Chains A and B, each alone.
Chain A
């Protein structure tokens, strides 16, 4: 049948992509909740829009931090490899990827085939991740989908000195008490995250590359702008940045079988 699937079990969302003859025929995104059925359900949802069933899939690759829990996958591959592959497939010019996920961020440098040449990944800390923005959005009582746009309105970004997510939260509470606007606080938070991610990524020489931003955070315009300012270069976005890892997994499933 030549139908392949990739499942990306991230800390915030689970994504599934179904691929047929080099075309995405279905995909789905669900929040990751403590339920072992989430990967299977997400794949089922991705299949609904197609004429295929799970039995028609030739090969499934699982990725993401929860990859080892996808017991029906034929192979597991790390999200670092998958994001590289997915981003390259979507745009051949891409030579580097920044992936800011729910619990970590990564910078990946690719070769001409979308294979990983080098990568760096943040440590065990929520700062510089999607979760950090979520935390601050909650503290400010602002819906997550609005924080990016609001941050662009901040003309005087607040100085966020602590990059520990918990300490930064109390810093934000102090800033609110001092009367600093939410826009300026959010601008400061976005700037601080961008600075942290770029300082980590710089070692790979990534600012000289054509960069794609993947992961749910790529939907946040404020984060994209802050990263572009910090990098001094334009960042490429795909229509569905959240599914790039799952797409890469599906591509690797296809590649593996063809090899």
Chain B
């Protein structure tokens, strides 16, 4: 009897303590990474993260498989097989935001990996060696034009862990029928591998369910992004960035993610409406687009200092990597559903050619009414660094959007000169402010 009562009270304690602890931890995490909003969604985000972590680490490998993937990962396909697609890169981002990424990076460097390669890859290698990441049953790497390092880094991990490794090639010619058919072939190949891995057969209904949830999550995600169009914006760039984490970070296509974005959208909408009824735009707010990689995640004070001067990042080109929906197929056949899936991934704005990236920057600049664009370059990423000048020139000359290129790194703090980055950002904001006000005076 006693035992049972003790168990009961333990359960009751857990039931009441977990939400409280979750709220406290969410507050601490928020503070640590520099978020300031008071949305309930922060706590939800924290709980989702914990739940997902628990699911990854505590799963029974016989009943549920886990694969490592990189962005853009074809999450719908994995969820159709009840396989967890775990993206280790953003874990590095979260660690960096909490000022903790040094350990995994140092581990990779001490293993002999070069400091001059992608720091996200080094983080994955180091964190895996430190056993900070859930062990995968297999690794699927998506190869596309914007990332040349992940495939080899993942292959190195797969070899070390002695697990299977598969590449999914994502071609750039998104409008070509041949590209779609090629990618459908890649998907079919992945399906065969997943059937072997899970000892199950492909279930179209399961895929359709995953696609429905994925599309629904994207709908609310985009609605949330649209709220940042408001003038003046009242959603901090730091918050705007961190709140979209579940969609591309680790949650994939689950009902909880849909619910998260739905709540986030509602909360943000109320916040914006409330703000707008109390504040009138004086037209002086400087609005920036992050047209490069992520800002230095370990130092949110950089963006906060700008926000004190009414300079806000209102959009990120990278956000567009996750906002496409799977279109309706022509017929309800597996072939056509795979074609639809292919269309989604082939049309991702950051996947394709320069033309595609230029087009998305054009759209974001216009719709989010930006005054300037900042191109944060990640250390060791040849692809983004080598294309940044061309993108910046396009924005300056064709779109009349002044651009600033900043060499830094989102997760490796050792490649960061705060004074220099801050001076450039503030000087850029001063320049835009004067241009904007002069323009107004002339009117």
Are A and B co-members of a single complex? yes
Binding site for B on A (CB under 8 A): 65, 77-81, 104, 115-119, 121, 123-124
A121-B430 in contact (CB<8A): no
22 contacts between A and B (CB under 8 A): A65-B419, A65-B423, A78-B426, A78-B427, A78-B430, A79-B423, A80-B427, A80-B430, A81-B427, A104-B420, A115-B431, A115-B438, A116-B430, A116-B434, A118-B402, A119-B427, A123-B407, A123-B420, A124-B407, A124-B415, A124-B417, A124-B420
Question: Chain A residue with minimal CB distance to B392?
Answer: A203
Taking CB atoms, residues of chain B closer than 8 Å to A117 are 431
Question: Chain B residue with minimal CB distance to A65?
Answer: B419
What 8 new A-B contacts, CB under 8 Å, besides A80-B431, A104-B420, A124-B417? A78-B426, A80-B423, A80-B427, A80-B430, A104-B423, A116-B430, A121-B424, A124-B420
Shortest 4 CB-CB distances between A and B: which pairs?
Answer: A124-B417, A80-B427, A78-B427, A116-B431
Taking CB atoms, residues of chain B closer than 8 Å to A104 are 420, 423
Interface residues of B in 398-436 (CB under 8 A from A): 402, 407, 415-417, 419-420, 423-424, 426-427, 430-431, 434
Question: Chain B residue with minimal CB distance to A11?
Answer: B419
A115-B434 in contact (CB<8A): yes
CA A65 to CA B431, docked complex, whole Å: 18
Question: Chain A residue with minimal CB distance to B424?
Answer: A121
CA A124 to CA B430, docked complex, whole Å: 22
Which of B415, B416, B434 has the most A CB atoms < 10 Å from its CB? Answer: B434
A81-B407 in contact (CB<8A): no
Which of A65, A78, A81 has the most B CB atoms < 10 Å from its CB? Answer: A78
CA A116 to CA B402, docked complex, whole Å: 12
CA A123 to CA B418, docked complex, whole Å: 11
B423-A121 in contact (CB<8A): yes
Q: Among B402, B415, B430, which residue has its beta carbon within 8 angstroms of that of A81?
A: B430
A77-B430 in contact (CB<8A): yes
> DSSP class of B's interface residues: helix, strand, loop or mixed?
helix
CA A86 to CA B407, docked complex, whole Å: 28
A242 to chain B, nearest CB (A): 18
CA A121 to CA B424, docked complex, whole Å: 7
B437 to chain A, nearest CB (A): 10
CA A40 to CA B222, docked complex, whole Å: 51
Chain B 268-301 near chain A by CB (<8 Å), digits 1 or 0:
0000000000000000000000000000000000
Taking CB atoms, residues of chain A closer than 8 Å to B402 are 118
A81-B420 in contact (CB<8A): no
CA A80 to CA B438, docked complex, whole Å: 19
CA A121 to CA B420, docked complex, whole Å: 8
CA A81 to CA B431, docked complex, whole Å: 8
A132 to chain B, nearest CB (A): 15
Question: Chain B residue with minimal CB distance to A78?
Answer: B427
CA A79 to CA B427, docked complex, whole Å: 8
CA A85 to CA B362, docked complex, whole Å: 32
Question: Chain A residue with minimal CB distance to B416?
Answer: A124
On whether A78 and B423 interact (CB within 8 A), knowing A116-B430, A116-B431, A119-B431, the answer reads yes
Taking CB atoms, residues of chain A closer than 8 Å to B424 are 80, 121
Taking CB atoms, residues of chain A closer than 8 Å to B431 are 80-81, 115-119
CA A116 to CA B428, docked complex, whole Å: 9
Taking CB atoms, residues of chain A closer than 8 Å to B416 are 124
CA A116 to CA B433, docked complex, whole Å: 11
Taking CB atoms, residues of chain A closer than 8 Å to B407 are 123-124
CA A199 to CA B29, docked complex, whole Å: 43
Taking CB atoms, residues of chain A closer than 8 Å to B420 are 104, 121, 123-124
A109 to chain B, nearest CB (A): 10
Taking CB atoms, residues of chain A closer than 8 Å to B426 are 78
B434 to chain A, nearest CB (A): 5
A203 to chain B, nearest CB (A): 8
Question: Chain B residue with minimal CB distance to A77?
Answer: B430
A246 to chain B, nearest CB (A): 16
Taking CB atoms, residues of chain B closer than 8 Å to A80 are 423-424, 427, 430-431
CA A78 to CA B419, docked complex, whole Å: 11
CA A77 to CA B356, docked complex, whole Å: 37
CA A116 to CA B430, docked complex, whole Å: 8
Question: Chain B residue with minimal CB distance to A80?
Answer: B427
A120 to chain B, nearest CB (A): 9
CA A119 to CA B424, docked complex, whole Å: 9
A146 to chain B, nearest CB (A): 30
CA A65 to CA B424, docked complex, whole Å: 11
CA A123 to CA B407, docked complex, whole Å: 7
B441 to chain A, nearest CB (A): 11
CA A129 to CA B277, docked complex, whole Å: 50
Taking CB atoms, residues of chain A closer than 8 Å to B434 are 115-116
CA A121 to CA B407, docked complex, whole Å: 11
A102 to chain B, nearest CB (A): 12
CA A65 to CA B418, docked complex, whole Å: 10
A219 to chain B, nearest CB (A): 23
B397 to chain A, nearest CB (A): 12
B66 to chain A, nearest CB (A): 39
Question: Chain A residue with minimal CB distance to B434?
Answer: A115
A196 to chain B, nearest CB (A): 15
A104 to chain B, nearest CB (A): 6
Chain B 339-354 near chain A by CB (<8 Å), digits 1 or 0:
0000000000000000
A108 to chain B, nearest CB (A): 9
CA A77 to CA B426, docked complex, whole Å: 8
CA A124 to CA B438, docked complex, whole Å: 33
Taking CB atoms, residues of chain A closer than 8 Å to B438 are 115
CA A78 to CA B420, docked complex, whole Å: 11
Question: Chain B residue with minimal CB distance to A104?
Answer: B420
Taking CB atoms, residues of chain B closer than 8 Å to A77 are 430
A139 to chain B, nearest CB (A): 24
On whether A123 and B417 interact (CB within 8 A), knowing A115-B434, A116-B431, A116-B434, the answer reads yes
Taking CB atoms, residues of chain B closer than 8 Å to A119 are 427, 431
